[in-house]
Structure formats: structure tokens, C-alpha cells
Chain A
């Protein structure tokens, strides 16, 4: 059964860099058609797609955050890392990683439980 789990700091200071790790199991990011995405949700607000990385190394970023985001994968460790620079209090949110696969095309079909990140001095 596919599972994903986000990990990282719960609190960062303004201007700091956030590094989040998504560790997954029961699928491989070297399998054709597979991807892992990051989505965030500020408290009481809507979902916002941030970035996705695919099995072939293709990466896509939200245009509004592209200059601050980097997504990488370590296939051998079954991990995807999201780096967000210059954190601001408005970046306070729950950050989710999610699986994209060929069974349900175009969707994020399996989600992690999320990691709450607060930005405050």
C-alpha cells in the first residue's frame, strides 16, 4: 500500500530556508509515469499546488513561487525534497506531499498526512 510521509521543521524564522522531505514506500520514482508533488494549505484556506517532480527528472513549479522553490529526488532513498527560500509568515501552512501515478492520470491520488510549518520570529 502506497504511503508518503512529510518531515521537516515545525518552526522557521522569517528569511530562513525551509527544507521538507517526503519519504515514500511501495512505489518507485523511477517507474514511468510516476511523480511526487507538493501542495500546501494555510490554516483555514485552500489547497495550493507548489511543485512536482517526475520519474524522468522533469520538474514543474508554481509560477508565483518558482524563484523560491527547488524540488529534487533521491530514487535510491525513496525521497523527494522541497526547498523553499526566504520564508515569510504568509508561508505558514500544512505542507503535503502526494503521489501521482498512471492509474488515476492527472491526479494526486495518495497524500501524506502533512507537515505543519509555522513561520515566526
Chain B
């Protein structure tokens, strides 16, 4: 079981807005460690999508945004497109056990 909890799946129609949650605890997100998000298209390696809770690397469309509050974070995707169909993972740092990097269990986004 992953340290960071994500819903297994979400779906939305083209043009709609969807959100993906990432729930942690007081030793990771709640300890003020940054949350990052990755997009993994089918059969490919993960790609950095959001860093530092709400920042986009160059080249990532502004349809993707992140937020964080308390022990949770969220990824929002607006204007949903078919090419957004992918798995999405959150990632943070956990201060327990001498410090480790942790990923969420992943969320499969289906564009209807």
C-alpha cells in the first residue's frame, strides 16, 4: 500500500475539468514537503508534470495545475483532451525512517 493515497481512477468528457487527489500524512505532505506530479502515457516512462506543488516545467500546458493544503494535494486538468488519458502519480518526501521519497498509488484518467 502506497504512503500517498490516490483514487484508482477518474474520468471525464473532452473539455471537462477533472481533479485527482493525493492524501498523505504529517510526515510527508503535512510536514510541508513539496508535492510533485508525473504523467505516464501508456507504455512510456513517467514525465514530470507539476513540481513544487503548483509549478509547471517548461512545455507543460497551463491546463494542468496543482494545489496543496494540509496533508493533501490535488492535480487539476481543465479542457480535457484525449491525449490526457494516462496514469498520474503524486510524489513527495517523507521524513520518517531517515527520509525517503514516496509515490502515490497512481490514478488512471480515462477520457470518455
Is the pair B52, A106 in contact by a Cβ cutoff of 8 Å? yes
Q: Distance in Å from the Cβ of A46 to the closest Cβ of chain B?
A: 5
Residues of A within 8 A of B63 (CB): none
Please give the number of chain B residues whose Cβ is less than 8 angstroms from any Cβ of chain A in the complex.
27
Residues of A within 8 A of B102 (CB): 49
Question: Does B12 make an interface contact (CB < 8 A)?
Answer: no
Residues of B within 8 A of A47 (CB): 38, 46, 89, 91, 103, 106
Residues of A within 8 A of B36 (CB): 104, 106-107
Contact A104-B48, Cβ < 8 Å, known A49-B100, A109-B57:
yes
Interface Cβ pair total, 8 Å cutoff: 64
Chain A residues 54 to 77 lying within 8 A of chain B, measured CB to CB, are: 60, 62-63
Question: Does B93 make an interface contact (CB < 8 A)?
Answer: yes
Question: Does A113 make an interface contact (CB < 8 A)?
Answer: yes
- Which of B36, B98, B101 has most chain A Cβ within 10 Å? B101
Contact A60-B33, Cβ < 8 Å, known A46-B104, A108-B48:
no
Is the pair A63, B52 in contact by a Cβ cutoff of 8 Å? no
Q: Distance in Å from the Cβ of A105 to the closest Cβ of chain B?
A: 7
Ordered by A's residue number, 13 sampled pairs between the chains whose C-beta atoms are within 8 Å are A39-B103, A46-B89, A48-B103, A49-B100, A52-B101, A60-B98, A104-B48, A106-B33, A107-B36, A108-B46, A109-B57, A111-B46, A114-B45
The 3 closest A-B pairs by CB, nearest first: A111-B45, A49-B101, A47-B103
